[in-house]
């Protein structure tokens, strides 16, 4: 009885001990930053999306009327650009995956002492401006650039055919600019694979293709999912590549939002389009992650 009483007393004392508040205090700066620069602007944007111009009001003057039909009107006027953004982003993501996977595989398993140098080269484009990199592609794909010159020499392009101001140039620029976002997660995932696992597959008489299909690729799937998300999400909202490398027929939803905000000064429509883009990306990401079987990434 005395032992039970002592244990009960000790348990009550443990329950009475206050947990340290330091971990919660450390969260305050991050939560404050998140609230100030993400949550509050998001709430403001949501309020703007349901505003309308008052009768007799000046351009750029809006009042809150909770007109949710703004979303229908906004989508009706930018349906083509919305769909084009998803298609361009999807193509750029698939191209980036096709280019990055062999590169990441080579760096992880075949590079040896050159691994660090190759990783530096992968992130080297980040040392220059996104804008400058896009302008560089405008020069590379220009009529006097090396790509068009070679293709015309091989009679693949005609003398009056060019590559700039086209969907090809826009997708190419997007693929290049977001390539490191695909390569680095793939490398991190492949680099964690134990080489003994691949050796075990060989010991069980699996050839190279079977080993890749049954062992390497499934183990690297978290990197594939992370890389495709990091590429697709910013690519869907990009407008710089479409502005510098495209034409009026290749405008994306980002170009429409930018023009609505800064040229037409139609804030409600721009805000509604922004929310619809976020919702569409969120739905696509949730479906993709669940289909890929990597729910823990959400």
Q: What is the predicted pLDDT for the residue at 201?
A: 84
Write out pLDDT tens, residues 26-68.
Answer: 889 999 999 999 999 999 999 999 999 887 777 778 999 999 9
Assess if residue 262 is contained within a domain: yes
Domain with 132 in it: 70-297
Q: What is the predicted pLDDT for the residue at 7?
A: 46
Assess if residue 15 is contained within a domain: no
Assess if residue 58 is contained within a domain: no
Six-digit token string for 7: 């244990």
Write out pLDDT tens, residues 195-226.
Answer: 888 888 887 878 888 888 889 999 999 999 99
Assess if residue 65 is contained within a domain: no
Rounded to whole angstroms, the Cα distance separating 78 from 64 reads 23
Q: For the full predicted model, state whether its pTM sits above 0.75.
A: yes
Looking at the structure of the chain, the number of domains it has is 1
Give 273's contacts (C-beta < 8 A, 6+ positions apart): 74, 75, 78, 82, 253, 256, 257, 260
Assess if residue 83 is contained within a domain: yes
Q: What is the percent of the chain where pLDDT is above 90?
A: 58
Q: What is the CATH number of the domain that holds 236?
A: 1.10.3720.10
Assess if residue 10 is contained within a domain: no
Question: What does DSSP assign to residue 58?
Answer: P
Assess if residue 30 is contained within a domain: no
Assess if residue 47 is contained within a domain: no
């Amino acid at each position: 009885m005395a032992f039970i009483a002592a244990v009960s007393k000790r348990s009550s004392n443990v329950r009475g001990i206050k947990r340290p508040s330091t971990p919660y205090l450390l969260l305050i700066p991050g939560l404050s930053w998140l609230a100030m620069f993400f949550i509050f602007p998001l709430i403001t944007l949501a309020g703007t999306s349901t505003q309308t111009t008052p009768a007799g009001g000046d351009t750029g003057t809006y009042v809150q009327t909770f007109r949710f039909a703004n979303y229908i009107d906004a989508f009706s006027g930018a349906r083509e650009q919305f769909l084009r953004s998803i298609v361009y982003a999807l193509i750029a993501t698939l191209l980036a995956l096709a280019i990055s996977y062999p590169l990441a595989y080579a760096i992880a398993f075949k590079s040896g002492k050159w691994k660090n140098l190759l990783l530096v080269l992968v992130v080297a484009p980040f040392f220059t401006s996104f804008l400058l990199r896009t302008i560089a592609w405008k020069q590379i794909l220009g009529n006097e650039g090396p790509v068009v010159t070679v293709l015309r020499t091989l009679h693949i392009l005609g003398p009056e055919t060019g590559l700039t101001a086209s969907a090809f140039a826009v997708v190419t620029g997007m693929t290049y600019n977001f390539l490191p976002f695909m390569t680095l997660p793939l490398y991190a995932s492949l680099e964690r694979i134990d080489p003994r696992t691949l050796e075990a597959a060989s010991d069980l008489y699996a050839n190279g293709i079977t080993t890749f299909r049954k062992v390497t690729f499934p183990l690297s799937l978290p990197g594939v999912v992370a890389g495709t998300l990091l590429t697709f999400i910013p690519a869907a909202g990009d407008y710089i590549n479409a502005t510098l490398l495209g034409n009026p027929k290749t405008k994306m939803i980002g170009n429409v939002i930018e023009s609505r905000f800064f040229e037409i000064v139609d804030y409600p429509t721009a805000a509604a389009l922004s929310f619809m883009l976020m919702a569409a990306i969120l739905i696509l990401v949730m479906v993709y992650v669940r289909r890929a079987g990597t729910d823990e990434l959400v």
